[in-house]
Chain A
Protein backbone atom coordinates (compact mmCIF):
# COMPACT_ATOMS: atom_id res chain seq x y z
CA UNK A 1 0.00 0.00 0.00
CA UNK A 2 1.19 3.48 -0.83
CA UNK A 3 2.27 5.58 2.18
CA UNK A 4 0.01 8.54 3.08
CA UNK A 5 2.84 11.06 3.30
CA UNK A 6 6.15 10.85 1.44
CA UNK A 7 8.56 13.75 1.70
CA UNK A 8 11.98 13.73 0.07
CA UNK A 9 14.61 16.40 0.71
CA UNK A 10 12.12 19.17 1.38
CA UNK A 11 13.96 22.49 1.57
CA UNK A 12 12.58 25.95 2.25
CA UNK A 13 14.13 29.26 3.26
CA UNK A 14 12.17 32.29 4.40
CA UNK A 15 15.21 34.53 4.17
CA UNK A 16 18.32 33.76 2.18
CA UNK A 17 20.72 31.48 3.94
CA UNK A 18 18.34 30.71 6.82
CA UNK A 19 16.65 27.39 6.20
CA UNK A 20 13.27 26.68 7.72
CA UNK A 21 13.39 23.21 6.18
CA UNK A 22 16.70 21.61 5.30
CA UNK A 23 16.53 18.37 3.31
CA UNK A 24 13.66 16.92 5.33
CA UNK A 25 12.66 13.38 4.36
CA UNK A 26 10.00 11.24 6.00
CA UNK A 27 7.29 8.69 5.36
CA UNK A 28 3.99 8.16 7.16
CA UNK A 29 2.13 4.92 6.49
CA UNK A 30 -1.62 4.35 6.71
CA UNK A 31 -2.93 4.20 10.27
CA UNK A 32 0.33 5.38 11.81
CA UNK A 33 0.93 8.29 14.17
CA UNK A 34 4.02 10.43 13.66
CA UNK A 35 4.93 12.85 16.45
CA UNK A 36 7.17 15.77 15.47
CA UNK A 37 9.22 17.32 18.27
CA UNK A 38 11.85 20.02 18.47
CA UNK A 39 12.63 23.43 19.95
CA UNK A 40 10.67 26.46 18.76
CA UNK A 41 11.82 27.71 15.38
CA UNK A 42 13.05 24.27 14.40
CA UNK A 43 10.67 24.07 11.44
CA UNK A 44 8.07 21.62 12.83
CA UNK A 45 5.09 23.83 12.08
CA UNK A 46 6.44 24.78 8.66
CA UNK A 47 6.86 21.08 7.88
CA UNK A 48 3.31 19.97 8.63
CA UNK A 49 1.87 23.09 7.04
CA UNK A 50 3.46 22.10 3.73
CA UNK A 51 1.41 18.89 3.92
CA UNK A 52 -1.86 20.74 3.18
CA UNK A 53 -0.41 23.57 1.13
CA UNK A 54 -0.54 26.32 3.79
CA UNK A 55 3.20 26.66 3.17
CA UNK A 56 5.15 26.19 -0.04
CA UNK A 57 8.66 24.77 -0.31
CA UNK A 58 11.58 25.63 -2.56
CA UNK A 59 13.02 22.21 -3.43
CA UNK A 60 12.31 18.55 -2.87
CA UNK A 61 9.46 16.15 -3.47
CA UNK A 62 6.20 15.77 -1.60
CA UNK A 63 3.37 13.32 -2.11
CA UNK A 64 0.21 13.41 0.01
CA UNK A 65 -2.34 10.58 -0.44
CA UNK A 66 -0.68 9.82 -3.75
CA UNK A 67 -1.07 13.41 -5.00
CA UNK A 68 2.26 14.96 -5.97
CA UNK A 69 2.84 18.52 -4.75
CA UNK A 70 5.37 20.72 -6.54
CA UNK A 71 7.35 23.67 -5.28
CA UNK A 72 5.17 25.86 -7.55
CA UNK A 73 1.74 25.27 -6.05
CA UNK A 74 -1.09 23.99 -8.23
CA UNK A 75 -4.29 25.35 -6.65
CA UNK A 76 -6.47 22.50 -7.88
CA UNK A 77 -4.17 19.83 -6.50
CA UNK A 78 -3.88 21.67 -3.18
CA UNK A 79 -7.69 21.95 -3.07
CA UNK A 80 -7.97 18.20 -3.69
CA UNK A 81 -5.56 17.48 -0.84
CA UNK A 82 -7.32 19.85 1.55
CA UNK A 83 -10.60 18.00 1.01
CA UNK A 84 -8.96 14.80 2.23
CA UNK A 85 -6.68 16.16 4.96
CA UNK A 86 -7.88 17.71 8.24
CA UNK A 87 -5.94 20.26 10.27
CA UNK A 88 -6.12 21.32 13.91
CA UNK A 89 -4.37 24.54 14.98
CA UNK A 90 -2.74 25.73 18.19
CA UNK A 91 -5.16 28.69 18.43
CA UNK A 92 -8.23 26.56 17.47
CA UNK A 93 -9.21 29.09 14.75
CA UNK A 94 -12.92 28.37 15.09
CA UNK A 95 -15.16 30.77 13.16
CA UNK A 96 -16.43 33.10 15.92
CA UNK A 97 -19.52 34.28 14.02
CA UNK A 98 -20.82 30.75 13.44
CA UNK A 99 -22.37 28.39 15.99
CA UNK A 100 -20.50 25.21 16.97
CA UNK A 101 -22.64 23.08 14.66
CA UNK A 102 -22.34 25.62 11.80
CA UNK A 103 -18.55 25.55 12.23
CA UNK A 104 -18.68 21.81 11.61
CA UNK A 105 -21.23 21.69 8.79
CA UNK A 106 -19.66 24.55 6.77
CA UNK A 107 -17.16 22.47 4.81
CA UNK A 108 -19.38 19.39 4.21
CA UNK A 109 -22.18 21.62 2.85
CA UNK A 110 -20.10 24.13 0.85
CA UNK A 111 -17.15 21.99 -0.22
CA UNK A 112 -18.59 18.49 -0.48
CA UNK A 113 -22.08 19.73 -1.40
CA UNK A 114 -23.74 17.42 1.08
CA UNK A 115 -27.30 18.07 2.24
CA UNK A 116 -27.66 20.34 5.28
CA UNK A 117 -29.62 17.76 7.31
CA UNK A 118 -27.16 15.02 6.52
CA UNK A 119 -24.20 17.25 7.46
CA UNK A 120 -25.90 18.25 10.71
CA UNK A 121 -26.61 14.65 11.67
CA UNK A 122 -23.00 13.68 11.10
CA UNK A 123 -21.86 16.86 12.88
CA UNK A 124 -23.92 15.96 15.95
CA UNK A 125 -22.47 12.45 15.87
CA UNK A 126 -18.92 13.89 15.85
CA UNK A 127 -19.76 16.32 18.66
CA UNK A 128 -21.16 13.50 20.80
CA UNK A 129 -17.98 11.52 20.14
CA UNK A 130 -16.04 14.51 21.44
CA UNK A 131 -18.43 14.73 24.40
CA UNK A 132 -19.63 18.25 23.57
CA UNK A 133 -22.95 17.68 21.77
CA UNK A 134 -24.76 19.77 24.40
CA UNK A 135 -22.88 22.85 23.13
CA UNK A 136 -23.99 22.51 19.48
CA UNK A 137 -26.09 25.70 19.49
CA UNK A 138 -23.53 27.80 21.37
CA UNK A 139 -20.82 30.02 19.90
CA UNK A 140 -17.05 29.43 20.21
CA UNK A 141 -16.47 32.25 22.73
CA UNK A 142 -18.91 30.58 25.15
CA UNK A 143 -16.73 27.45 25.38
CA UNK A 144 -13.54 26.73 27.31
CA UNK A 145 -10.27 26.28 25.43
CA UNK A 146 -10.38 22.51 25.74
CA UNK A 147 -13.94 22.40 24.43
CA UNK A 148 -13.06 24.72 21.55
CA UNK A 149 -10.16 22.51 20.55
CA UNK A 150 -12.43 19.44 20.59
CA UNK A 151 -14.84 21.34 18.31
CA UNK A 152 -11.87 22.09 16.03
CA UNK A 153 -11.09 18.36 15.90
CA UNK A 154 -14.72 17.57 15.09
CA UNK A 155 -14.62 20.24 12.36
CA UNK A 156 -11.50 18.65 10.86
CA UNK A 157 -13.20 15.23 11.00
CA UNK A 158 -16.36 16.44 9.26
CA UNK A 159 -14.81 15.97 5.82
CA UNK A 160 -13.96 12.33 6.72
CA UNK A 161 -10.24 12.97 6.25
CA UNK A 162 -7.67 10.28 5.51
CA UNK A 163 -4.93 12.23 7.30
CA UNK A 164 -5.12 14.52 10.32
CA UNK A 165 -2.52 17.23 11.03
CA UNK A 166 -2.15 18.68 14.53
CA UNK A 167 -0.06 21.84 15.00
CA UNK A 168 0.67 22.04 18.76
CA UNK A 169 -2.97 21.33 19.64
CA UNK A 170 -2.52 21.66 23.42
CA UNK A 171 0.03 24.50 23.64
CA UNK A 172 -2.61 27.21 24.08
CA UNK A 173 -4.60 25.30 26.73
CA UNK A 174 -4.70 25.54 30.53
CA UNK A 175 -2.83 22.55 32.03
CA UNK A 176 -6.04 21.00 33.44
CA UNK A 177 -7.67 21.17 29.98
CA UNK A 178 -4.89 19.40 28.10
CA UNK A 179 -5.94 15.84 28.86
CA UNK A 180 -9.46 16.13 27.49
CA UNK A 181 -7.96 17.03 24.11
CA UNK A 182 -5.21 14.42 24.26
CA UNK A 183 -7.81 11.76 25.17
CA UNK A 184 -9.85 12.65 22.09
CA UNK A 185 -6.70 12.34 19.97
CA UNK A 186 -5.87 8.98 21.59
CA UNK A 187 -9.29 7.62 20.64
CA UNK A 188 -8.77 8.75 17.05
CA UNK A 189 -5.42 6.95 16.91
CA UNK A 190 -7.06 3.81 18.30
CA UNK A 191 -9.67 4.00 15.53
CA UNK A 192 -6.82 3.82 13.03
CA UNK A 193 -6.60 7.48 11.95
CA UNK A 194 -3.34 8.45 10.26
CA UNK A 195 -1.96 11.45 12.15
CA UNK A 196 1.01 13.81 12.16
CA UNK A 197 1.21 15.63 15.49
CA UNK A 198 3.51 18.50 16.43
CA UNK A 199 3.57 18.47 20.23
CA UNK A 200 5.67 18.74 23.38
CA UNK A 201 3.49 16.20 25.24
CA UNK A 202 5.91 13.39 26.06
CA UNK A 203 3.24 11.19 27.63
CA UNK A 204 1.12 11.31 24.48
CA UNK A 205 4.14 10.69 22.24
CA UNK A 206 5.18 7.68 24.34
CA UNK A 207 1.72 6.07 24.40
CA UNK A 208 0.31 6.87 21.01
CA UNK A 209 3.03 7.50 18.43
CA UNK A 210 4.61 4.92 16.16
CA UNK A 211 7.55 7.17 15.30
CA UNK A 212 9.03 10.30 16.81
CA UNK A 213 10.73 12.74 14.45
CA UNK A 214 13.08 15.21 16.11
CA UNK A 215 13.96 18.45 14.30
CA UNK A 216 16.40 21.28 14.94
CA UNK A 217 17.23 24.26 12.69
CA UNK A 218 15.11 22.83 9.88
CA UNK A 219 16.96 19.48 9.85
CA UNK A 220 15.69 16.07 10.87
CA UNK A 221 18.07 15.05 13.66
CA UNK A 222 16.56 11.62 14.17
CA UNK A 223 13.51 9.48 13.56
CA UNK A 224 13.01 6.70 16.12
CA UNK A 225 10.23 4.68 17.70
CA UNK A 226 9.16 6.33 21.00
CA UNK A 227 10.55 3.42 23.04
CA UNK A 228 14.05 4.26 21.80
CA UNK A 229 13.69 8.06 21.50
CA UNK A 230 12.61 8.64 25.10
CA UNK A 231 14.91 6.14 26.82
CA UNK A 232 17.96 5.98 24.62
CA UNK A 233 17.92 8.70 21.95
CA UNK A 234 20.59 8.20 19.34
CA UNK A 235 21.72 11.80 19.11
CA UNK A 236 23.26 14.09 21.69
CA UNK A 237 21.03 16.98 20.48
CA UNK A 238 17.86 14.94 21.10
CA UNK A 239 18.97 13.97 24.60
CA UNK A 240 19.73 17.60 25.45
CA UNK A 241 16.26 18.62 24.27
CA UNK A 242 14.56 15.88 26.31
CA UNK A 243 16.52 16.88 29.40
CA UNK A 244 15.32 20.44 29.04
CA UNK A 245 11.70 19.28 28.64
CA UNK A 246 12.01 17.14 31.80
CA UNK A 247 13.33 20.06 33.81
CA UNK A 248 10.18 22.09 33.09
Chain B
Protein backbone atom coordinates (compact mmCIF):
# COMPACT_ATOMS: atom_id res chain seq x y z
CA UNK B 1 0.00 0.00 0.00
CA UNK B 2 1.31 3.46 -0.89
CA UNK B 3 1.97 5.99 1.85
CA UNK B 4 -0.73 8.36 0.46
CA UNK B 5 -3.31 5.60 0.68
CA UNK B 6 -2.27 4.76 4.25
CA UNK B 7 -2.63 8.36 5.40
CA UNK B 8 -6.00 8.61 3.65
CA UNK B 9 -7.22 5.41 5.34
CA UNK B 10 -6.10 6.53 8.79
CA UNK B 11 -7.68 9.93 8.29
CA UNK B 12 -10.94 8.27 7.31
CA UNK B 13 -10.97 6.05 10.38
CA UNK B 14 -10.33 9.08 12.62
CA UNK B 15 -13.28 10.96 11.12
CA UNK B 16 -15.61 7.98 11.65
CA UNK B 17 -14.44 7.67 15.29
CA UNK B 18 -15.02 11.40 15.97
CA UNK B 19 -18.50 11.18 14.45
CA UNK B 20 -19.40 8.23 16.69
CA UNK B 21 -18.16 10.00 19.82
CA UNK B 22 -20.03 13.14 18.77
CA UNK B 23 -23.29 11.18 18.41
CA UNK B 24 -22.82 9.63 21.85
CA UNK B 25 -22.17 12.98 23.54
CA UNK B 26 -25.18 14.48 21.77
CA UNK B 27 -27.44 11.65 22.94
CA UNK B 28 -26.13 12.06 26.45
CA UNK B 29 -26.84 15.80 26.65
CA UNK B 30 -30.26 15.42 25.09
CA UNK B 31 -31.15 12.72 27.62
CA UNK B 32 -29.80 14.69 30.55
CA UNK B 33 -31.83 17.76 29.50
CA UNK B 34 -34.93 15.60 29.16
CA UNK B 35 -34.56 14.20 32.71
CA UNK B 36 -33.82 17.68 33.96
CA UNK B 37 -30.97 16.52 36.16
CA UNK B 38 -27.89 18.02 34.54
CA UNK B 39 -24.43 16.68 35.04
CA UNK B 40 -22.92 17.19 38.48
CA UNK B 41 -21.53 15.29 41.46
CA UNK B 42 -22.77 17.43 44.37
CA UNK B 43 -25.33 14.74 45.37
CA UNK B 44 -22.38 12.57 46.44
CA UNK B 45 -22.24 14.41 49.76
CA UNK B 46 -25.91 13.99 50.66
CA UNK B 47 -26.86 11.27 53.16
CA UNK B 48 -27.24 7.87 51.54
CA UNK B 49 -30.08 6.83 53.88
CA UNK B 50 -29.74 3.14 53.13
CA UNK B 51 -28.21 0.46 55.35
CA UNK B 52 -25.28 -1.75 54.44
CA UNK B 53 -25.04 -5.27 55.79
CA UNK B 54 -21.28 -5.31 55.58
CA UNK B 55 -18.91 -2.45 56.19
CA UNK B 56 -15.22 -2.87 57.02
CA UNK B 57 -15.20 0.75 58.30
CA UNK B 58 -17.92 2.41 60.44
CA UNK B 59 -21.01 3.24 58.39
CA UNK B 60 -24.56 4.40 59.19
CA UNK B 61 -27.38 5.33 56.84
CA UNK B 62 -26.80 9.01 57.63
CA UNK B 63 -23.35 8.87 56.04
CA UNK B 64 -22.88 10.33 52.56
CA UNK B 65 -23.22 8.55 49.21
CA UNK B 66 -19.49 9.06 48.69
CA UNK B 67 -18.72 7.20 51.90
CA UNK B 68 -21.15 4.41 50.93
CA UNK B 69 -19.37 4.07 47.58
CA UNK B 70 -16.00 3.93 49.30
CA UNK B 71 -17.28 1.20 51.63
CA UNK B 72 -18.48 -0.65 48.53
CA UNK B 73 -15.07 -0.28 46.95
CA UNK B 74 -13.47 -1.68 50.10
CA UNK B 75 -15.93 -4.60 50.07
CA UNK B 76 -14.97 -5.27 46.44
CA UNK B 77 -11.29 -5.08 47.29
CA UNK B 78 -11.81 -7.48 50.21
CA UNK B 79 -13.56 -10.11 48.11
CA UNK B 80 -11.15 -9.70 45.18
CA UNK B 81 -7.98 -9.98 47.24
CA UNK B 82 -9.20 -12.97 49.26
CA UNK B 83 -10.46 -14.79 46.14
CA UNK B 84 -7.25 -14.00 44.32
CA UNK B 85 -5.18 -15.66 47.04
CA UNK B 86 -7.47 -18.68 47.40
CA UNK B 87 -7.78 -19.13 43.60
CA UNK B 88 -4.00 -19.06 43.16
CA UNK B 89 -3.54 -21.59 45.94
CA UNK B 90 -6.25 -23.92 44.58
CA UNK B 91 -5.10 -23.48 40.98
CA UNK B 92 -1.52 -24.39 41.87
CA UNK B 93 -2.58 -27.58 43.64
CA UNK B 94 -4.82 -28.60 40.73
CA UNK B 95 -2.07 -27.88 38.20
CA UNK B 96 0.36 -30.01 40.23
CA UNK B 97 -2.20 -32.83 40.43
CA UNK B 98 -2.85 -32.58 36.70
CA UNK B 99 0.83 -32.71 35.70
CA UNK B 100 1.86 -35.24 38.35
CA UNK B 101 2.43 -38.95 37.97
CA UNK B 102 -0.68 -40.06 39.89
CA UNK B 103 -3.25 -40.86 37.20
CA UNK B 104 -6.26 -40.84 39.55
CA UNK B 105 -5.41 -37.33 40.79
CA UNK B 106 -4.81 -36.33 37.19
CA UNK B 107 -8.24 -37.56 36.19
CA UNK B 108 -9.99 -35.83 39.10
CA UNK B 109 -8.30 -32.51 38.39
CA UNK B 110 -9.07 -32.78 34.67
CA UNK B 111 -12.74 -33.38 35.51
CA UNK B 112 -12.71 -30.44 37.94
CA UNK B 113 -11.29 -28.12 35.27
CA UNK B 114 -13.80 -29.32 32.67
CA UNK B 115 -16.87 -28.94 34.88
CA UNK B 116 -15.89 -25.55 36.28
CA UNK B 117 -14.91 -24.06 32.94
CA UNK B 118 -17.99 -25.22 31.13
CA UNK B 119 -20.69 -23.91 33.45
CA UNK B 120 -21.61 -20.21 33.84
CA UNK B 121 -20.11 -18.37 36.80
CA UNK B 122 -23.49 -16.90 37.75
CA UNK B 123 -24.89 -20.42 38.10
CA UNK B 124 -21.95 -21.46 40.26
CA UNK B 125 -22.36 -18.44 42.54
CA UNK B 126 -26.05 -19.23 42.96
CA UNK B 127 -25.13 -22.80 43.75
CA UNK B 128 -22.65 -21.83 46.47
CA UNK B 129 -25.02 -19.29 47.93
CA UNK B 130 -28.25 -21.29 47.98
CA UNK B 131 -26.87 -24.79 48.36
CA UNK B 132 -23.69 -24.10 50.26
CA UNK B 133 -24.08 -21.19 52.62
CA UNK B 134 -27.67 -20.15 52.88
CA UNK B 135 -28.45 -23.67 54.11
CA UNK B 136 -26.04 -23.15 56.98
CA UNK B 137 -28.21 -20.47 58.45
CA UNK B 138 -31.14 -22.71 59.21
CA UNK B 139 -29.71 -26.14 59.70
CA UNK B 140 -26.43 -26.03 61.46
CA UNK B 141 -25.14 -24.25 64.48
CA UNK B 142 -21.65 -25.40 65.19
CA UNK B 143 -19.45 -23.99 67.91
CA UNK B 144 -15.95 -25.27 68.41
CA UNK B 145 -14.42 -23.75 71.54
CA UNK B 146 -15.55 -20.28 70.38
CA UNK B 147 -12.82 -20.33 67.71
CA UNK B 148 -14.93 -21.55 64.83
CA UNK B 149 -18.63 -20.70 65.05
CA UNK B 150 -21.31 -21.10 62.45
CA UNK B 151 -24.22 -18.82 63.28
CA UNK B 152 -27.28 -17.74 61.37
CA UNK B 153 -25.28 -14.80 59.95
CA UNK B 154 -22.27 -16.61 58.62
CA UNK B 155 -19.03 -17.92 60.01
CA UNK B 156 -17.17 -16.46 62.94
CA UNK B 157 -13.54 -17.51 62.96
CA UNK B 158 -11.91 -16.38 66.22
CA UNK B 159 -13.40 -12.89 66.07
CA UNK B 160 -13.15 -12.48 62.29
CA UNK B 161 -16.66 -12.57 60.86
CA UNK B 162 -17.47 -13.73 57.33
CA UNK B 163 -21.04 -13.35 56.08
CA UNK B 164 -22.73 -16.09 54.05
CA UNK B 165 -22.83 -13.69 51.08
CA UNK B 166 -19.13 -12.96 51.28
CA UNK B 167 -18.26 -16.65 51.65
CA UNK B 168 -20.45 -17.75 48.73
CA UNK B 169 -19.06 -15.04 46.46
CA UNK B 170 -15.45 -15.52 47.50
CA UNK B 171 -15.57 -19.31 47.26
CA UNK B 172 -17.46 -19.22 43.97
CA UNK B 173 -15.03 -16.77 42.38
CA UNK B 174 -12.02 -18.68 43.74
CA UNK B 175 -13.18 -22.04 42.45
CA UNK B 176 -14.18 -20.63 39.08
CA UNK B 177 -10.89 -18.77 38.60
CA UNK B 178 -8.76 -21.62 40.01
CA UNK B 179 -9.71 -23.82 37.03
CA UNK B 180 -8.35 -21.21 34.63
CA UNK B 181 -5.28 -20.53 36.77
CA UNK B 182 -4.58 -24.27 36.89
CA UNK B 183 -4.45 -24.35 33.10
CA UNK B 184 -2.17 -21.29 32.97
CA UNK B 185 0.21 -22.91 35.47
CA UNK B 186 0.06 -26.25 33.65
CA UNK B 187 0.99 -24.46 30.42
CA UNK B 188 4.01 -22.94 32.16
CA UNK B 189 5.07 -26.27 33.64
CA UNK B 190 4.83 -27.99 30.24
CA UNK B 191 7.00 -25.25 28.70
CA UNK B 192 10.00 -26.39 30.81
CA UNK B 193 12.11 -28.92 28.92
CA UNK B 194 11.92 -32.64 29.75
CA UNK B 195 15.65 -32.66 30.46
CA UNK B 196 15.07 -30.57 33.59
CA UNK B 197 12.68 -33.21 34.96
CA UNK B 198 15.14 -35.99 34.18
CA UNK B 199 17.99 -34.05 35.78
CA UNK B 200 16.26 -33.52 39.13
CA UNK B 201 14.87 -37.05 39.16
CA UNK B 202 18.34 -38.45 38.51
CA UNK B 203 19.61 -36.56 41.54
CA UNK B 204 17.08 -38.34 43.75
CA UNK B 205 14.90 -35.27 44.33
CA UNK B 206 11.23 -36.05 45.00
CA UNK B 207 8.60 -34.96 42.46
CA UNK B 208 7.27 -32.30 44.85
CA UNK B 209 10.68 -30.82 45.62
CA UNK B 210 11.71 -30.92 41.97
CA UNK B 211 8.51 -29.20 40.94
CA UNK B 212 8.95 -26.43 43.52
CA UNK B 213 12.72 -25.91 43.29
CA UNK B 214 13.46 -26.66 39.65
CA UNK B 215 10.39 -26.59 37.41
CA UNK B 216 8.23 -23.81 38.87
CA UNK B 217 10.95 -21.11 38.96
CA UNK B 218 11.60 -21.75 35.26
CA UNK B 219 7.88 -21.85 34.46
CA UNK B 220 7.08 -18.51 36.18
CA UNK B 221 8.00 -16.18 33.29
CA UNK B 222 5.52 -18.10 31.12
CA UNK B 223 2.88 -18.16 33.89
CA UNK B 224 2.80 -14.52 35.07
CA UNK B 225 1.18 -12.86 31.99
CA UNK B 226 -1.64 -15.42 31.89
CA UNK B 227 -2.06 -15.16 35.64
CA UNK B 228 -2.44 -11.36 35.39
CA UNK B 229 -5.31 -11.60 32.93
CA UNK B 230 -7.03 -14.21 35.12
CA UNK B 231 -6.71 -11.84 38.10
CA UNK B 232 -8.24 -9.02 36.04
CA UNK B 233 -11.10 -11.31 35.02
CA UNK B 234 -11.65 -12.21 38.65
CA UNK B 235 -11.83 -8.53 39.63
CA UNK B 236 -14.39 -7.82 36.92
CA UNK B 237 -16.38 -10.98 37.67
CA UNK B 238 -16.69 -9.84 41.29
CA UNK B 239 -19.50 -7.51 40.13
CA UNK B 240 -21.72 -10.61 40.11
CA UNK B 241 -21.84 -9.99 43.87
CA UNK B 242 -25.22 -8.40 43.22
CA UNK B 243 -26.62 -11.88 42.50
CA UNK B 244 -25.94 -13.11 46.04
CA UNK B 245 -26.68 -9.80 47.71
CA UNK B 246 -23.15 -8.86 48.71
CA UNK B 247 -22.69 -5.09 48.89
CA UNK B 248 -19.78 -4.53 46.54
CA UNK B 249 -19.18 -1.32 44.60
CA UNK B 250 -21.45 -2.43 41.76
CA UNK B 251 -24.37 -3.36 44.01
CA UNK B 252 -24.13 -0.06 45.90
CA UNK B 253 -23.93 1.86 42.63
CA UNK B 254 -27.09 0.09 41.56
CA UNK B 255 -28.90 1.14 44.72
CA UNK B 256 -27.74 4.73 44.31
CA UNK B 257 -28.91 4.87 40.69
CA UNK B 258 -32.32 3.68 41.83
CA UNK B 259 -32.46 6.34 44.54
CA UNK B 260 -31.02 9.34 42.70
CA UNK B 261 -31.39 8.58 39.01
CA UNK B 262 -27.75 9.62 38.53
CA UNK B 263 -26.96 6.79 36.12
CA UNK B 264 -24.32 8.58 34.06
CA UNK B 265 -22.33 9.85 37.04
CA UNK B 266 -22.58 6.50 38.77
CA UNK B 267 -21.30 4.63 35.75
CA UNK B 268 -18.39 7.04 35.45
CA UNK B 269 -17.57 6.44 39.11
CA UNK B 270 -17.87 2.68 38.58
CA UNK B 271 -15.62 2.88 35.54
CA UNK B 272 -12.89 4.67 37.45
CA UNK B 273 -13.26 2.42 40.52
CA UNK B 274 -12.52 -0.61 38.38
CA UNK B 275 -9.81 1.14 36.44
CA UNK B 276 -8.15 1.87 39.79
CA UNK B 277 -8.60 -1.71 41.03
CA UNK B 278 -7.27 -3.26 37.85
CA UNK B 279 -4.36 -0.84 37.52
CA UNK B 280 -3.45 -1.88 41.07
CA UNK B 281 -3.47 -5.55 40.03
CA UNK B 282 -1.66 -5.00 36.71
CA UNK B 283 1.08 -2.89 38.26
CA UNK B 284 1.65 -5.28 41.15
CA UNK B 285 1.96 -8.16 38.69
CA UNK B 286 4.26 -6.11 36.48
CA UNK B 287 6.54 -5.49 39.47
CA UNK B 288 6.52 -9.22 40.32
CA UNK B 289 7.24 -10.06 36.69
CA UNK B 290 10.21 -7.69 36.60
CA UNK B 291 11.59 -9.07 39.87
CA UNK B 292 11.44 -12.60 38.47
CA UNK B 293 13.00 -11.63 35.15
CA UNK B 294 15.77 -9.70 36.92
CA UNK B 295 16.57 -12.61 39.21
CA UNK B 296 16.78 -14.86 36.13
CA UNK B 297 18.66 -12.51 33.81
CA UNK B 298 21.38 -15.08 33.28
CA UNK B 299 19.04 -17.80 31.99
Q: Which A positions have Cβ atoms within 8 angstroms of B?
A: 52-54, 79, 82-83, 85-87, 89, 91, 93-97, 106-107, 110-111, 138-142, 155-156, 159
- Which chain A residues lie closer than 8 Å to B209 at the CB level? 110
Q: Could you list 13 further interchain pairs (A-B, Cβ under 8 angstroms) beyond the known A106-B203, A107-B205?
A: A54-B198, A83-B204, A89-B198, A91-B195, A93-B193, A93-B198, A94-B199, A95-B200, A97-B296, A110-B205, A110-B213, A138-B298, A142-B298
- Could you tell me if B196 and A93 are in contact, using CB atoms closer than 8 angstroms? yes
Residue B201 at the chain A interface, CB threshold 8 Å:
yes
In the bound complex, CA of A85 to CA of B201 (Å): 11
- Could you tell me if A93 and B203 are in contact, using CB atoms closer than 8 angstroms? no
Given contacts A111-B204, A159-B203, contact A106 B299 (CB under 8 A): no
In the bound complex, CA of A67 to CA of B15 (Å): 79
Q: Which of A79, A94, A139 meets B204, CB within 8 Å?
A: A79
Q: Chain B contact residues (Cβ within 8 angstroms of A): what range?
A: 20 to 34
- Could you tell me if A106 and B205 are in contact, using CB atoms closer than 8 angstroms? yes
- Could you tell me if A159 and B204 are in contact, using CB atoms closer than 8 angstroms? yes
- Which chain A residues lie closer than 8 Å to B206 at the CB level? 79
In the bound complex, CA of A93 to CA of B199 (Å): 6
- Which chain A residues lie closer than 8 Å to B218 at the CB level? 96-97
Q: Which of B203, B214, B295, B296 meets A111, CB within 8 Å?
A: B203
- Which chain B residues lie closer than 8 Å to A89 at the CB level? 195, 198-199
In the complex, 15 of the A-B residue pairs with CB atoms within 8 angstroms, ordered by the A residue number, are: A82-B202, A85-B202, A86-B202, A87-B202, A89-B198, A91-B195, A93-B193, A93-B199, A95-B200, A95-B214, A106-B205, A111-B205, A140-B298, A141-B298, A159-B203
- Could you tell me if A54 and B298 are in contact, using CB atoms closer than 8 angstroms? no
CB-nearest residue of chain B to A99:
B298
